[in-house]
Amino acid sequence: MLRSPPQAVFVLTGAGVSAESGLGTFRDAGGMWSRFDPMRLATPEAFAEDPDTVLDFYNLRRCGVLAAVPNAAHAALARAEARLAARGGRLFLCTQNVDDLHERAGSRTVVHMHGELLKVLCQACTRTFARRTDILRTDVCPHCARIGTLRPDVVWFGEMPHHRDAIEAALAGSDLFVAVGTSGSVYPAAGYVSLARARNIRTCEINLAPSDNADAFDEARYGRAGEAVPAFLAELGL
Ligand code: OAD
């Protein structure tokens, strides 16, 4: 069947898109959550109970992000965004990742539904600001001057993901939904394929192996994101 090229592409990325940049995934063998207990590191309760351990964990991850470089999958998505924009279309890039590799590859609009590791949130005044260095419990908030209230601006288990309305509106207005490098096990992101299918939007997953919700997609491309993403976008003329 010959299809007309998509004009509004919605891409959801997960940890797998950054795997070839050396940033570990969560649920693969040897992944982050097989080595560390997320309930002790990635919940508001864990931070209240043991802030130093939680801050250390994210300080280490921040160093990893700063040392990493974007790979061919990030670059291909940035190129596709520019090519679609040049022909009057758009690519909405929604990521579950807290790294900044999409931005560094050249993507102009990136929606971080699980927050950003290179941003800090003050729990007292709720302001956020950019930060590339470690967060310490002795730090003073530059906005409200309180001490010990800073945390990474990442979404923890039990917290609401960011930008849900904008994400769902963009998804509803798209004609192609592509999920890249995500296991499909964390909601609401894992439910986006069903939202897309309910609106008759074409859906495709690109992953190393079938994800938990692989059956929900119309089509799939299996392989490393660094090869499979550029190849799929090339199929679309992007
Ligand atoms: P997961 O670790 O759950 O899944 C990563 C997926 O990427 C797996 O399905 C892998 O098979 C696939 N993968 C690994 N290497 C790949 C490669 N080189 N190319 C393509 N695919 C590859 O990560 P996410 O689905 O992103 O949330 O996890 C979702 C959320 O769970 C994260 O945002 C994080 C985590 O807890 C928070 O921290 C709030």
3 and 100 housed in the same domain: yes
Q: Say what the pTM is.
A: 0.97
User: What backbone phi and psi angles, to 5 degrees, belong to 59?
Assistant: -65, -40
224 and 185 housed in the same domain: yes
Mutate to test the pocket of ligand 1, among 20, 26, 157 (most ligand atoms within 8 A of CB): 26
Read off the amino acid at residue 191. Answer: G
209 and 170 housed in the same domain: yes
CB-based contact 24:32 (threshold 8 Å): yes
Nearest to 217 by CA among 187, 188, 190, 235: 190
CB of 162 closer than 6 angstroms to any ligand 1 atom: no
Share of the chain above pLDDT 90, in %: 97
126 and 215 housed in the same domain: no
- Is the predicted pLDDT of residue 228 greater than 60, yes or no? yes
Of 27-36, 74-83, 100-109, 117-126, the one with minimum mean pLDDT is: 27-36
Which tokens belong to 210? 């079938």
Gyration radius of the chain over CA positions: 18
143 and 226 housed in the same domain: no
Q: How far is the CA of 6 from the centre of ligand 1 (A)?
A: 26
3-class secondary-structure state, position 233: helix
**Interval 147-201: pLDDT, tens:** 999 999 999 999 999 999 999 999 999 999 999 999 999 999 999 999 999 999 9
Quick one: pLDDT band at residue 25, thresholds 50, 70, 90? very high
Question: Closest residue (by CA) to atom 31 of ligand 1?
Answer: 186
123 and 216 housed in the same domain: no
Number of independent structural domains in the chain? 2
Question: In what order do the strands lie in the sheet containing 202-207?
Answer: 110-112, 90-95, 8-13, 176-180, 202-207, 219-222
User: What backbone phi and psi angles, to 5 degrees, belong to 5?
Assistant: -65, 145
96 and 122 housed in the same domain: no
Which CATH number covers residue 209?
A: 3.40.50.1220
- Give the C-alpha separation, 6 to 193, whole Å: 17
Q: What is the pLDDT of residue 2?
A: 54
Q: What is the pLDDT of residue 1?
A: 52
- Rounded mean pLDDT, 73-101: 98
Question: Closest residue (by CA) to atom 6 of ligand 1?
Answer: 182
36 and 56 housed in the same domain: yes
Distances (CA, A) of 23 to 52, 132, 225: 22, 17, 13
Q: How far is the CA of 186 from the centre of ligand 1 (A)?
A: 10
**Interval 188-219: pLDDT, tens:** 999 999 999 999 999 999 999 999 999 999 99
95 and 168 housed in the same domain: yes
Q: Which secondary-structure segment (H or E) carries 121?
A: strand 115-122
CB of 15 closer than 6 angstroms to any ligand 1 atom: yes
Of 2-6, 117-121, 143-147, 180-184, the one with minimum mean pLDDT is: 2-6
Among residues 154, 183, 217, the one where a domain terminates is 154
Give me the domain span that covers residue 131: 26-67+116-154
104 and 165 housed in the same domain: yes
121 and 134 housed in the same domain: yes
Which CATH number covers residue 141?
A: 3.30.1600.10
18 and 127 housed in the same domain: no
Quick one: pLDDT band at residue 110, thresholds 50, 70, 90? very high
Instruction: Give 197: exposed, middle or buried? Use CB within 10 Å, 0-12, 13-18, 19+.
Output: middle
